[in-house]
Structure 1
Amino acid sequence: MIRNVGRTLRAAAVTALVGIALAAAPANAAAPVWETLPQPVDGDRGAAYILPFDAENAFVKMRRGTCASCRMSEKLWQKAGSTWKALTPPADASITTLTGTAPNDLWAIGRVDTSTGVFRVNHYDGTKWSGNLSPDTQHLELTAAEAVSRNSLWAVGNSRKDPGSTPTVTHWNGTSWNTTKFNQIDGGLDSIDVRAENDIWAVGHRSAGGTANDRLQALALHYDGTRWTEVPVPATAKVSTLLTEVKSNGPNDVWVAGYILDERGLGEPRTGAYVIHWDGTAWTRRDVPGADFANSFAVYGGQVHLGVSGGRANLVRWTGSAWEAVSGIQEGMNGVAMLATTPDGSLYLAGTSGWDSIFGGRTYHLQRLAAPAAR
């Protein structure tokens, strides 16, 4: 049940946005030592996504084929020590979104056939796969999810309606689903971050009407354990803005990223990777200069890190006043697609180099940075 959505925000939430320059790393800073992770040999493609648990255990999603006909396939592998095992999900499963808490607690979520529009939710217990556990196979599209424990999975997306769609959050408690639909909003949710069961952020977009260039605007929601509240994001005039990533580093340190559609509405950003920061009172613009897209957040060593693509640096961290390039990652990489941390404090990344996805010229990279030494 939705309660008091959007009623408790202070007017200061719509303060002016400020751009930030990219800082150079200090000349005397020790370069981090990255470990290149081996990947399962599987055709001419590599791991496009990693879900790590510790240095020994992880799941990776591989992309296969040369895409000569633009028909890519995906395959799921499990890492246990130095051993790789191919996993075969149910035929009607999708591995678009992966989340889990352990090698025997994996969720695979996505849509297999775009013509049917039916989303699947399947669970792997280390031995066998469940059938489709989706709470609504007719209307609910789930675009992101986060497993908190074996008995707690949060997922976001939208419920289709005619016309439009409704932003939707659903929670699995180990036996059943509890679904919240924001019926007063036309839009959808694309990312979720669960800092605690009473501190959850979800972001996406809402329909703002208007012209084709500004028909969508940013949408941010927060859950305090009792109710969901909309946190208004300043509108971007004359362009559409969509939020695709969120990471909370505390109640007064929330990072959100997305992109702005250009004047033609083709999805190319107008001003670079769109990033905003919530300090508990107001949003401030924190774009990454020169980068096209902001792809994934992670907190490593107490600092917020961001993987980007199309920029001078592909991995940056926030110093408190500016974005700083992180050195030591694979040379020639042109994008860090995802970041993840494990309970021991290690940072993992999945990135790419090369641009020719049609003829098989793109290479996928997996790297790990061990937890920083205790001070």
Structure 2
Amino acid sequence: MITNIGRTLSAAAVTAAAGVALAAAPANAAAPAWETLSRPSPEQGAAYILPFDAENAVGKTRQPMCGSCKLSEKLWQKTGNSWKELTPPADAGIDALAGTAADDVWAIGRKDTSTGVFRVNHYDGTSWSGNLNPDTQKLELLAAKAVSRTSLWAVGDSRANGAPAVTHWNGTSWNTTTFDQIQGVLDGVDVRAENDIWAVGYRTAGGLANDRFQGLALHYDGTRWTEVPVPATAKVSTLLDSVRSSGPNDVWVTGHILDEKGLGAPRTGAYVLHWDGATWTRRDVPGAKFANSAAVYDGRVHLGVSGGSGSKLVRWTGSAWEAVSGVQAGLDGVSTLATTRDGALYLAGFSGSDTIFGGREYYLQRLGAPTVR
């Protein structure tokens, strides 16, 4: 199915968050203590974790840089304090993970082959499906969110015309929407409800030859997709990577900015936006280079960052970012934040440099569900 985007909202203004600084965490904050979890693999670093509850999770590890060797990724299943390798089909890709339980896991990604076909494989606790990509010739899927065992939303783009794309699995079949009037890609998705879904990425500005990009945000209300315009940043490219929503008036988007050299240029800084239902406001974390992952814990957005100085895990107080205490000392970055249905927060982080000589340490931590204050 191909739908049109209803541009029902006028161009939203962005307010620069000048003077926003890291505030000290309040001394009387009531919160459970962080616990350090066992790592899936001593040889590989935890690049991503998808927790389901206190006992069960899946995780992806990545081999550190190793000179001329071929980097490899592995998939793991956590039961209690133990991890076991979960071997996907030989042709599967595991760039993105989604699911609702240990017997409802989706692995999505592009296998390193000459075809470059994006694959979608499902694990039912016993065996893996074959490739379930609804259009193996055209559809590239980059991120996904599972709502239930019969509802998976995935986003990416269409090879056919370079248009952003969204597809939905209802338990038996796919329904795909492409936005053919836009040239671009969707890189992140969040589903608060089946009638409250956000997808973000970027669109080309002036065509592919211009090599300039602008942030793209779309919202689904259960009936149609609507573009929520993200103002461009002059002389640079802005790309949106992830989105987290705790309500229609509280949506957080992370991304990054490139200088005018285009996609091949180095990142010039983390980029954080907040949508209050009417306006986008810049809420960048001072000093951070990368905004890697966001999650809503205890009613507040938490952001994992890397690069620069200061805490690598911060939360929004309503007026400023404050450091979250209790995380692993010496963290250089947080790669993943994720929450479970009971409200616990999981963190995958690292310290040290990822070089051909190794030297990077990886950590997994869990913060239990908030206590009653």
Maintained 8 Å contact 2:25/2:322: no
The whole-number CA distance in structure 1 between the counterparts of 2:329 and 2:220 is 40
Root-mean-square deviation over aligned CA pairs: 1.9
The whole-number CA distance in structure 2 between the counterparts of 1:22 and 1:85 is 42
State the partner residue of 1:363.
361
Asked if 1:310 corresponds to 2:289, the answer is: no
State the partner residue of 2:57.
58
Question: What does residue range 143-222 of structure 1 map to in structure 2 within 5 Å?
Answer: 143-161=142-160, 165-209=162-206, 215-222=212-219
The whole-number CA distance in structure 2 between the counterparts of 1:167 and 1:141 is 9
State the partner residue of 2:241.
244
Question: What does residue range 1-375 of structure 1 map to in structure 2 within 5 Å?
Answer: 1=1, 3=3, 5-11=5-11, 13-26=12-25, 28-30=27-29, 33-42=33-42, 44-64=43-63, 67-69=66-68, 71-113=70-112, 115-161=114-160, 165-209=162-206, 215-265=212-262, 266-270=264-268, 272-311=269-308, 312-375=310-373
Q: Cα gap change, 1:225/1:124 in structure 2, threshold over 3 Å: closer, same or farther?
A: same
The whole-number CA distance in structure 2 between the counterparts of 1:82 and 1:313 is 28
The whole-number CA distance in structure 2 between the counterparts of 1:26 and 1:78 is 34
* Higher mean displacement: 117-126 or 53-62: 53-62
- TM-score (norm. length: structure 1): 0.94
- TM-score (norm. length: structure 2): 0.94
**Consecutive unaligned residues in structure 1, runs of 5 or more:** none
- Matched letter for residue 353 of structure 2: W
What is the CA distance between 1:268 and its match in structure 2?
3.0
Maintained 8 Å contact 1:213/1:263: no
Maintained 8 Å contact 2:351/2:360: yes
The whole-number CA distance in structure 2 between the counterparts of 1:273 and 1:66 is 24
Maintained 8 Å contact 2:241/2:254: yes
The whole-number CA distance in structure 2 between the counterparts of 1:118 and 1:261 is 28
Give deviations 1:117-154, integer Å, cap 9, x for gaps: 20100000000000000001111111000011000000
- Matched letter for residue 108 of structure 1: A
The whole-number CA distance in structure 2 between the counterparts of 1:232 and 1:2 is 20
- Matched letter for residue 364 of structure 1: Y
- Matched letter for residue 5 of structure 1: I
Maintained 8 Å contact 1:31/1:328: no
The whole-number CA distance in structure 1 between the counterparts of 2:280 and 2:103 is 39
What is the CA distance between 1:260 and its match in structure 2?
0.6
Maintained 8 Å contact 2:236/2:257: yes
What is the CA distance between 1:211 and its match in structure 2?
9.7
Q: Cα gap change, 1:358/1:83 in structure 2, threshold over 3 Å: closer, same or farther?
A: same
What is the CA distance between 1:21 and its match in structure 2?
1.6
Aligned length: 370
The whole-number CA distance in structure 2 between the counterparts of 1:221 and 1:232 is 8
Maintained 8 Å contact 1:39/1:47: yes
The whole-number CA distance in structure 2 between the counterparts of 1:210 and 1:119 is 24
SS at structure 2 position matched to 1:255: strand
- Matched letter for residue 278 of structure 2: T
What is the CA distance between 1:25 and its match in structure 2?
1.4
SS at structure 1 position matched to 2:342: coil
